[in-house]
């Protein structure tokens, strides 16, 4: 039976906190969990959940993952704990380290997550920041691997806002050697440091392309991926962004230009007739709900590799 190997880094704040081999290993462990081939128990281990933003998938998949592993979760809602009243991060981190074995945090600034991790003696997981969503990327690449068997010759085209989800797809894609194309409107390109780091990792620099032309980016692509146009915390930019993202909807026109066996992914939640048409969302090419299910298996694997 496959045995989860402990990750070299204490935390998973970024896709880059794991090596290529470690990401491969997490995906393999996740597959084993999905197939019920693993019986790892994290009995009595407690995962703390600090969510400054809404969540359905991430929160529930972490809760169910811990429950399946024999551990439990504590929901540390910032509104009902002292976190929301401004208790310093470094104090919260030191206290919760005495109660919890691992903490997953969803917040705005990556620097707040890093500050927490600096003061925590226990592993910290990024459950989404404005910069990255590395747990999402694990489930995404697991879904792609399920479909295509491996990542050789797979072209992933992301159409939308170059923020957290796109940034993690780039970094994890670089580690796995996947060709990633990002098509976004001008001014919505992925984080420049993320792009720089990805180019340092890619052995073949042609494998990452950032463009403002979605029609060109989807040519022959095997995976079409999109995310909401207005992320959490950007509710006041909704109107402006809808205008800026005109032409960046995954629809039958873009799908026709992709490979004929291309699959469609979306991290969810989805807004029909904005980033994706209802027809595209509901088409037989969608693997969106397998992708959502894989959040559970990937996080079981991640927790096993952080806590064993």
| 150 assigned to active site | no
> Which CB, 58 or 222, lies closer to ligand CP?
58
* Interface pick for ligand CP out of 11, 15, 55, 73 (rule CB under 6 A): 55
Query: Structure tokens of 201?
Result: 């990792």
* Closer of 56 and 215 to ligand CP (Cβ): 56
Q: Taking CB under 6 A as the rule, does residue 124 contact ligand NVA?
A: no
Annotation says 272 is catalytic? no
165 binds ligand NVA (CB under 6 A): yes
Residue nearer to ligand CP on the CB measure, 93 or 139: 139
- Residue among 231, 50, 28 at smallest CA distance from 126: 50
Do residues 178 and 207 make contact, with C-beta atoms less than 8 angstroms apart? yes
Residue 15 binding ligand CP, by CB under 6 A: no
Among 25, 133, 266, 287, the one annotated catalytic: 133
In the list 268, 271, 285, 286, the residue contacting ligand CP (rule: CB under 6 A) is 268
* Active-site residue, selected from the candidate residues 101, 295, 299, 300: 295
Q: List the interface residues with ligand NVA, window 255-274 (CB under 6 A).
A: 267
Which partner from the list ligand CP, ligand NVA, none does 231 bind, CB cut-off 5 to 8 Å by kind?
ligand NVA
Task: Tell me how far apart the alpha carbons of residues 197 and 170 are, in angstroms, rounded to a whole number.
Answer: 10
Our answer to whether residue 227 is catalytic in this structure is yes
- What single DSSP character describes residue 250? B
Pairing of strands 223-226, 263-266: parallel
Q: Which of ligand CP, ligand NVA, none interacts with 56 (beta carbon under 5 to 8 A by kind)? A: ligand CP
Clarify whether 133 is annotated catalytic: yes
What Å distances lie between residue 126 and 13, 57, 117, 260, 278, CA to CA? 5, 14, 10, 35, 31
Over the window 208 to 247, marking each residue x when it contacts ligand NVA by CB under 6 A and - when it does not, the resulting string is: -------------------xx--xx---------------
Indicate whether 125 belongs to the interface with ligand NVA (CB under 6 A).
no
Q: Which of 56, 215, 216, 252 binds ligand CP (CB under 6 A)?
A: 56
Residue 5 is classified by DSSP as P
Residue, CB closest to ligand NVA: 231
Structure tokens at 23: 């990401």
Binding mask 106-135 for ligand CP (x = CB under 6 A): ----------------------x-------
Going by C-beta distance under 8 Å and a sequence separation of 6 or more, which residues neighbour residue 262?
221, 222, 223, 224, 255, 285
Identify which of residues 128 and 208 has a Cβ nearer to ligand CP in the complex.
128
φ and ψ of 202, to 5 deg:
-60, 130
Could you identify the residue written with the tokens 């390109």?
189
3-state secondary structure of 266: strand
8 Å CB contact between 308 and 29: no
Provide DSSP, 244-285. Answer: HTTT--B-HHHHHHS-TT-EEEE-S---BTTTB-HHHHHSTT
Tokens linked to 269 = 């939640």
First CA to last CA across the chain, in angstroms? 15
Q: Which of 163, 222, 249, 304 binds ligand NVA (CB under 6 A)?
A: 163
Strand order in the sheet with 263-266: 208-211, 179-183, 155-159, 223-226, 263-266
Binding mask 133-152 for ligand CP (x = CB under 6 A): ---x----------------
* Residues taking part in catalysis: 106, 133, 136, 227, 267, 295
Contacts with ligand NVA, residue ranges (CB under 6 A): 128, 163-165, 227-228, 231-232, 267
């Amino acid at each position: 039976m496959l045995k989860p190997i402990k990750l070299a880094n204490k935390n998973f704040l970024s896709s880059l906190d794991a090596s290529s081999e470690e990401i491969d290993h997490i995906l393999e462990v996740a597959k084993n969990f999905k197939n019920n081939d693993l019986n790892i128990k994290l009995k009595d281990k407690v995962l703390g959940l600090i969510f400054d933003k809404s969540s359905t998938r991430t929160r529930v998949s972490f809760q169910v993952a811990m429950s399946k592993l024999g551990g439990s979760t504590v929901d540390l809602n910032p509104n009902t704990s002292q976190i929301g009243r401004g208790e310093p991060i470094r104090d919260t981190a030191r206290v919760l380290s005495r109660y919890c074995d691992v903490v997953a945090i969803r917040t705005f600034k990556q620097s707040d997550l890093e500050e927490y991790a600096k003061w925590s003696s226990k592993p910290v997981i990024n459950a989404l920041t404005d910069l990255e969503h590395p747990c999402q990327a694990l489930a995404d690449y697991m879904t792609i691997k399920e479909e295509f068997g491996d990542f050789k010759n797979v072209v992933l085209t992301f159409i939308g806002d170059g923020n957290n989800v796109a940034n993690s797809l780039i970094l994890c894609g670089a580690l796995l050697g996947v060709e990633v194309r990002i098509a976004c409107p001008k001014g919505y390109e992925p984080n420049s440091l993320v792009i720089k780091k990805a180019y340092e990792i890619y052995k073949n620099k042609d494998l990452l392309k950032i463009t403002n032309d979605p029609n060109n980016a989807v040519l022959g692509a095997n995976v079409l991926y999109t995310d909401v146009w207005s992320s959490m915390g950007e509710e006041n930019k909704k109107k402006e962004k809808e205008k800026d993202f005109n032409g960046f909807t995954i629809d039958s026109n873009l799908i026709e230009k992709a490979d004929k066996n291309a699959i469609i992914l979306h991290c969810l939640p989805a807004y029909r007739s904005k980033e994706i048409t209802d027809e595209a969302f509901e088409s037989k090419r969608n693997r969106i709900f397998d992708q959502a299910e894989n959040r559970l298996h990937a996080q079981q694997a991640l927790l096993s590799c952080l806590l064993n």
